[in-house]
Amino acid sequence: MTQTLSLRRPDDMHLHLRDGAILQGILPETTRHFARAIIMPNLVPPVVTAAEATAYRDRILAALPEGAAFEPLMTLYLTEETDPDDVATAAASGLVKAVKLYPAGATTNSASGVRDFDKVRAVLDRMAEIGLPLCVHGEVTTASVDIFDREAVFIDTVLDPLRRRTPGLRVVMEHITTRDGVAYARAQGDDLAATITTHHLIINRNHILVGGIKPHYYCLPVAKREEHRLALRAAATSGEARFFLGTDSAPHVDALKEHACGCAGCFTATNTLPLLAHVFEEEGRLDRLEGFTSLHGAAFYRLPLTEARLTLEKRDAPFTPPAKIHTGAGPVTVFDPGFSVFWHVRD
């Protein structure tokens, strides 16, 4: 028997589109299913000013497939030279929906990130004043801290002190990966939210390392122990408005993933919705999927809900996405969950 589920067209509150040939090739994978997305600014060079965000948005819009209804929600990359007035002007115009904090060296294209937090206090104070969210890549980069502990240490040594010094600052903890992140988010008020990725609901660190290194499961923040994955699943399916979808879908061509020093990122734009339906069904929480994908994020970002809808359909035959998306820069491998998925997005 066919089972169906109708949702408001989802929002992806953490998305990498890159630029140039990769952007051209992978953008249709998001616009097929998503109405809007918070676009990450970690290009080379990064998107730091309102003028750069405008130019990047124009490149995204120019690359949209014919007939696509998709709104890129732009962000600025926080640096120690960011101008508070430029940020405020960009927010007032409606162009920019958030500012992204990368600790320097934390992940792909983060070399321009923040080292001295005192140098960004004026920007953070202005953001608190105008209600503009700060999106946080929540990991320390101190060499002495184990990579599996970097999120928990960041919460204690950076995030909590930063929020105490900047009352009223609205914060999104992006791509949380630990039960520590879940617990911290739950203990805060409504000025803090957290995104959870598709892949962190499905893989733990064994998927990366057991039986040989699997580069297409390597991401940052890195997948953690099984106990953390289960905590994320419980949070995502809880119905709590503080948790919502941010795929962190991060395309890299295979030549850069399958490499002696491979890039971090899982590309999930193509199959996120069938995978999420599978996860929420396993947890007995299909009724909460729309909140996670389409309601909670819009509420936190103070956006109107999308009116368009789509239908998920469970069929007898499995959903089989393409193994790779071919772009002008090279092939990008689609995330493989390692199990059969029977949910499809109805054409």
β 96-101/71-77 pair status: parallel
Active site residues: 248
Task: Write out the two tokens for 227.
Answer: 């106990």
Q: Establish how many alpha carbons lie within 13 A of residue 304's alpha carbon, considering only the half-sphere containing its beta carbon.
A: 4
Nearest Cα to 47, choosing from 86, 8, 94? 86
With contact defined as beta carbons under 8 Å apart, do 2 and 313 qualify? yes
Task: Write out the two tokens for 224.
Answer: 């953690």
Three-state secondary structure call for residue 64? coil
**CA pair distance 240, 228, nearest whole angstrom:** 18
Q: Is the peptide bond before 331 cis (omega within 30 degrees of 0)?
A: no
Q: How far apart are the first and last CA of the chain?
A: 18
Q: Is the peptide bond before 72 cis (omega within 30 degrees of 0)?
A: no
With contact defined as beta carbons under 8 Å apart, do 267 and 333 qualify? yes
**What secondary structure, in 3-state letters, does 280-323 show?**
HHHCCCHHHHHHHHHHHHHHHCCCCCCCCEEEEEECCCCCCCCC
With contact defined as beta carbons under 8 Å apart, do 10 and 245 qualify? yes
Q: Give the helix/strand (H/E) hosting 172.
A: strand 171-174
| Cβ neighbours for 20, distance < 8 A, ≥ 6 positions apart | 328, 329
With contact defined as beta carbons under 8 Å apart, do 106 and 77 qualify? no
**CA pair distance 26, 274, nearest whole angstrom:** 18
